């Protein structure tokens, strides 16, 4: 074979190799195409992108970087995790700024961790683009004993400056930091034209607090949560609509807090959580003409009520332990001249039910009543769980001697959460004898006629019949006289699943549900209670 023939054969082989390589490339392309379609039959991939991203946003309601805050509800996932699942999810996640618009940064104490946080935060906020941002910034509480040890302020600034550089996009800001760290954060901030909600919980370390003027020019700021120690922070008080105070009153803080409150002339919702037991001494009175909702979780609610007037108030949440609190509450209502519609009694009730009835009798416009895990102080000073008695429920079904109608004539919703002890049903004729007899509630529908029920104090335990009587009386009230039907009755019982089963078996309950009353009976666990009376007075 001559030289030219060899060259021709080599060219032919090269051409054949090229064809084979082309076939291999085609097969590889087909393989990749088929691999991308391996999950094509999954229902999720048939959903429109808008629905997919909405599902993603539910899973990433609050971003965490890089860990979960202990006092927050745990996350399902983060946008970074979603992006790592597949190409389609990565494209959707990275092209949806809303997924990246909420982030929490738990600042650590080492340079390496802070550097990593800074890089991740920068990437995170870049993917948020121009979306309104919700920023939460806290620190590693487990390392509070070493706050100043080996802390690199340069590394710390590298993280805080990334968040601060986007201050013009902030819609919500929560800061849980030592005041010295917060000053570093503040130094890099610009204007906050879109800020609507602010939560400041600064650990005071110096006499001078940060943010003295930072938020004064926040035109959209309406909601603020702030500690008593931070009331010197500059805020546009005149435009606030929702305010929460928390912490301990001490020193001259009560007067400062009242002064702060008096400047909030447009306030609509006010919550105060005070764990101190020191009496407030002030000559100031605060008039909040637009306040509609008030929540007081305090050792001495009467202290604040004594300085406050709120003529537009509609709803209040408050512990009412004894005569002092009730007297202050009644005086507050009289001074404010309010027509209260919503009353939530939190934590504590009087040890005598007559005091509760006195409150109810003074609230003829009340439409919503809630009692949440109540306790009371016994005559011996010990704390006990409160159990509603038969007399308590009979109050709601017994006509008022003065008006002839039922008390609280406009009551439409009652919610109770706490213990309940149901006893065997008794007929009216056997109440004095002490004999327990099962009663067919359907045969006792004569309660609709208004025949009074015998509530012998010697047999003052709640039974199914008592509750049925109350429900029937409130459902069959005289609507022509301007009264309202009870529409919602809910009992979340913390101690007795058997009581729930008893009520669910009631024919009266089933009939009232068919007629339209919303009745809820469920068994729940007792919540970990906020101990507002840790330091008894």
pLDDT in tens, 445-485: 333 333 232 333 444 678 899 999 999 999 998 777 788 99
Strands (E), 396-445: 413-418
Average pLDDT over residues 188-198: 92
The full length of the chain comes to 537
Region for residue 306 given its phi and psi (left: phi exceeds 0; alpha: psi -120 to 50; beta: otherwise): alpha
pLDDT band per the 50, 70, 90 thresholds, residue 381: low
pTM score, whole prediction: 0.78
Strands (E), 299-430: 308-309, 315-318, 342-348, 368-377, 383-385, 413-418
Residue 435 vs residue 347, higher pLDDT: 347
Helix (H) / strand (E) element for 177: namely strand 170-178
Integer Cα distance of 177 and 182 in angstroms: 6
Q: What is the pLDDT of residue 438?
A: 38
Integer Cα distance of 309 and 222 in angstroms: 21
Q: What is the pLDDT of residue 413?
A: 97
Q: Whose CA is closest to 228, among 212, 211, 205, 204?
A: 204
Residues 6+ apart with CB under 8 A from 183: 210
Report whether 143 contacts 109 (CB < 8 A).
yes
Average pLDDT over residues 489-507: 91
Q: Which two tokens stand for residue 472?
A: 């029937």
Give 3-state DSSP helix, strand, coil % of the chain, rounded to 5. 40, 20, 40
Least confident range of 120-129, 281-290, 352-361, 512-521: 281-290
Q: What is the pLDDT of residues 45-66, one digit of tens each?
A: 778 888 888 888 888 865 444 4
Integer Cα distance of 16 and 22 in angstroms: 10
Q: What is the pLDDT of residues 390-441, one digit of tens each?
A: 889 999 999 876 777 899 999 999 999 998 888 766 444 333 333 333 333 3
Integer Cα distance of 192 and 219 in angstroms: 8
Integer Cα distance of 510 and 504 in angstroms: 8
Tell me how far CA of residue 303 lies from CA of 282, 285, 319, 329, 360, in angstroms.
10, 12, 13, 10, 22
Integer Cα distance of 436 and 415 in angstroms: 28
| 252 pLDDT above the threshold of 60 | no
Of these ranges, 14-18, 443-447, 523-527, the one predicted with the greatest mean pLDDT is 14-18
Structural domain boundaries in the chain = 428-523
Report whether 65 contacts 121 (CB < 8 A).
yes
Q: Residue for token digits 């003027």?
A: 213
Phi, psi of 316 (to 5 degrees): -140, 140
Integer Cα distance of 451 and 454 in angstroms: 10
Tell me how far CA of residue 197 lies from CA of 134, 249, 396, 476, in angstroms.
9, 24, 41, 45
CA pseudo-torsion sign 364, 366, 367, 370: negative
Q: What is the pLDDT of residues 100-151, one digit of tens each?
A: 999 988 887 777 788 888 899 999 999 999 999 999 988 876 655 554 545 5
Helix locations, 362-487, DSSP H: 390-397, 464-475
Q: What is the pLDDT of residue 299?
A: 67
């Amino acid at each position: 074979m001559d030289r030219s023939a060899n060259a021709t054969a080599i060219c032919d082989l090269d051409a054949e190799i090229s064809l084979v390589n082309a076939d291999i490339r085609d097969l590889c392309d087909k393989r990749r195409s088929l691999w991308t379609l391996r999950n094509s039959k999954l229902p999720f991939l048939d959903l429109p992108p808008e629905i997919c991203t909405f599902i993603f946003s539910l899973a990433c309601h609050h971003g965490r970087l890089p860990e979960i805050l202990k006092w927050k509800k745990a996350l399902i996932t983060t946008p970074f995790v979603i992006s790592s699942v597949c190409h389609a999810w990565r494209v959707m996640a990275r092209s949806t700024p809303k997924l990246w618009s909420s982030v929490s940064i738990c600042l650590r104490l080492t340079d390496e961790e802070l550097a990593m946080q800074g890089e991740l935060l920068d990437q995170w906020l870049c993917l948020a683009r121009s979306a309104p941002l919700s920023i939460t910034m806290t620190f590693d509480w487990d390392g509070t004993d070493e706050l100043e040890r080996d802390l690199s302020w340069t590394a710390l600034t590298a993280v805080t400056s990334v968040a601060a550089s986007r201050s013009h996009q902030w819609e919500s800001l929560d800061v849980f930091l030592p005041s010295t760290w917060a000053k570093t954060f503040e130094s890099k901030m610009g204007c906050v034209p879109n800020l609507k909600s602010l939560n400041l919980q600064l650990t005071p370390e110096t006499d001078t607090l940060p943010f003295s003027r930072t938020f004064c020019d926040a035109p959209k700021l309406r909601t603020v949560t702030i500690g008593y120690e931070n009331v010197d922070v500059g805020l546009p008080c005149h435009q606030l609509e929702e305010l929460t105070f928390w912490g301990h009153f001490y020193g001259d803080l009560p007067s400062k807090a009242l002064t702060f409150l008096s400047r909030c002339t447009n306030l609509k919702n006010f919550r105060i959580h005070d764990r101190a037991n020191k009496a407030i001494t002030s000559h100031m009175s605060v008039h909040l003409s637009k306040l509609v909702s008030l929540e007081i979780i305090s050792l001495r609610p009467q202290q604040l009520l004594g300085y406050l007037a709120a003529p537009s108030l509609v709803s209040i949440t408050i512990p009412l332990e004894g005569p002092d609190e009730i007297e202050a509450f009644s005086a507050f209502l009289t001074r404010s001249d309010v027509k209260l519609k919503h009353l939530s009694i939190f934590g504590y009730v009087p040890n005598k039910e007559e005091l509760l009835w006195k409150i109810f009798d003074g609230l003829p416009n009340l439409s919503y009543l809630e009692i949440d895990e109540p306790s009371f102080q016994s005559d011996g000073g010990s704390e006990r769980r409160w159990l509603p008695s038969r007399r308590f429920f009979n109050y709601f079904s017994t006509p008022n001697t003065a008006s002839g109608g039922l008390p609280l004539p406009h009551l439409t919703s009652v919610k109770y959460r706490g213990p309940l002890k149901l006893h065997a049903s008794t007929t009216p004729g056997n109440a004095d004898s002490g004999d327990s007899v099962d009663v067919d509630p359907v045969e006792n529908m004569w309660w609709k006629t208004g025949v009074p029920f015998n509530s012998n104090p010697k047999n003052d335990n709640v039974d199914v019949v008592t509750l049925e009587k109350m429900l029937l009386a409130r459902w069959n009230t005289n609507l022509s006289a301007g009264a309202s039907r009870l529409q919602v009755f809910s009992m979340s019982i913390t101690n007795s699943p058997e009581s729930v089963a008893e009520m669910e078996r009631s024919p009266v309950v089933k009939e009232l549900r068919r007629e339209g009353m919303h009745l809820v009976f469920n068994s729940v666990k007792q919540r970990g209670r906020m101990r507002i009376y840790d330091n008894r007075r």
